[in-house]
């Protein structure tokens, strides 16, 4: 039987320094960064509306299986601010940059990945992303160890979040192994 290893990304392989698992308390400064990146002056009612939208998509508060995209989340925020949704990618980039400003590898990640590579064990990542974080942003977090990862799958690509088995089945398929215990 073929063997492969699948990891989660956040708080398994990397972490964002000084960022709690529930991002709610950091919404105000993150939304200020979004407004600045979009060249907007957002008042208190606009900020409250944006926080309510983020809270609705916050899986620490409102668990869900079906995934959403960043364009949807930030499109809703821009609409609430009376703006066009065409700047949703700019808004998302600013929002996620706020949280990712200090990402770091978790202890022992590189030695473990190096050992798996030496043993020719394929490695994949299945990660649930916050607020539909786009893949290209997630890929930046892989830079320090990308050479050890054969497959990256995000919850946006699968359309669902863990523990739904569809992501695990997709990861196993991409790694060329039969899913066991899914």
Structure confidence by residue, pLDDT tens digits, 108-127: 999 999 999 999 999 999 99
Residue 181 falls inside a structural domain: no
pLDDT at 40 exceeding the cut of 80? yes
Residue 55 and residue 122 in one domain: no
Residue 147: pLDDT band (50, 70, 90) is very high
What's the structural domain count of the chain? 2
Cβ contact 81:50 at 8 Å: yes
Cα distances from 59 to residues 49, 66, 81, 93, 134, in angstroms, run 18, 11, 23, 20, 17
Query: What local confidence, expressed as pLDDT, does residue 180 receive?
Result: 72
Residue 154 falls inside a structural domain: yes
Domain boundary among 45, 66, 100: 100
Average pLDDT, the chain: 95
Cα–Cα distance measured from residue 111 to residue 26, given in angstroms and rounded to the nearest whole number = 33
Backbone torsions φ then ψ of 151, nearest 5 degrees: -140, 135
Domain boundary among 100, 124, 156: 100
Residue 116 and residue 87 in one domain: no
Residue 54 falls inside a structural domain: yes
Residue 14: pLDDT band (50, 70, 90) is very high
The domain that contains 130 carries what CATH number? 3.40.50.1000
Q: Domain limits at 82?
A: 23-100
Cβ contact 91:83 at 8 Å: no
Domain boundary among 67, 100, 133: 100
């Amino acid at each position: 039987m073929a063997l492969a290893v699948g990891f989660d990304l956040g708080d398994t392989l990397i972490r964002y320094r000084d960022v709690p698992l529930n991002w709610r308390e950091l919404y105000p400064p993150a939304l200020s960064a979004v407004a600045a990146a979009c060249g907007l002056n957002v008042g208190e009612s606009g900020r409250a509306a944006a926080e309510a939208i983020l809270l609705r998509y916050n899986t620490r508060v409102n668990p869900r299986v079906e995934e959403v995209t960043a364009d949807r989340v930030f499109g809703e925020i821009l609409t609430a601010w009376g703006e066009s949704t065409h700047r949703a990618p700019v808004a998302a980039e600013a929002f996620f940059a706020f949280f990712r400003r200090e990402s770091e590898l978790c202890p022992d990640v590189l030695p473990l990945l190096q050992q798996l590579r030496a043993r020719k064990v394929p490695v994949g990542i299945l990660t649930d992303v916050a607020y539909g974080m786009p893949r290209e942003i997630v890929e930046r977090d892989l830079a320090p160890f990308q050479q050890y990862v054969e497959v990256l799958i995000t919850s946006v690509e699968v359309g669902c979040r863990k523990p739904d088995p569809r992501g695990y089945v997709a990861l196993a398929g991409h790694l060329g192994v039969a899913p066991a215990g899914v």
